[in-house]
Structure 1
């Protein structure tokens, strides 16, 4: 969520209210970041880890986790870019 957009829409509020809303937005962004991270960990673990005979990952599992994380992050970046493009297109109309 863009804080500048938020403060522009709420310019009539007091500074205390703006600070409260900004803190809530920060909490929501942190929660969403943790949700994305947890989804990444769960997805890559489910796809890549198949042996529990040792404490560390095997070489094949480690390579799989690296590829999985890279794909997930590239996908997330692309989705974010696309949402930004759509948001920009929608705001110019």
Structure 2
């Protein structure tokens, strides 16, 4: 990035930030879809049951811990 002008650096940074946001939103959407598919199965009520809520909490917690662990492993590889 040393060879870039200030404007080019700003433009590059904006592209990187946009890409990171898109990746985050894709990841978030995949998490929501997976936990919904795994946990929500009763459509007779507008609200989720305690069992469904517990399942969602466990699903999200497990996914977050897994993502954190993967990040740690990638950091160890450098």
TM-score, normalization: structure 2? 0.95
**CA deviations over 1:26-79 (Å, ceiling 9, x no partner):** 011111111111111011001000011111110100000000000000011111
Q: Distance in 2 between matches of 1:26 and 1:51?
A: 39
Higher relative contact order (CA 8 A, sep 6+): 2
RMSD: 0.8
Pair 1:73-2:64 in alignment:
yes
Unaligned runs of 5+ in 2: none
Determine the structure 1 residue equivalent to 2:52: 61
Runs of 4+ in 1 over 4 A off after TM superposition: none
Tell me the CA shift for residue 24 of structure 1: 0.6
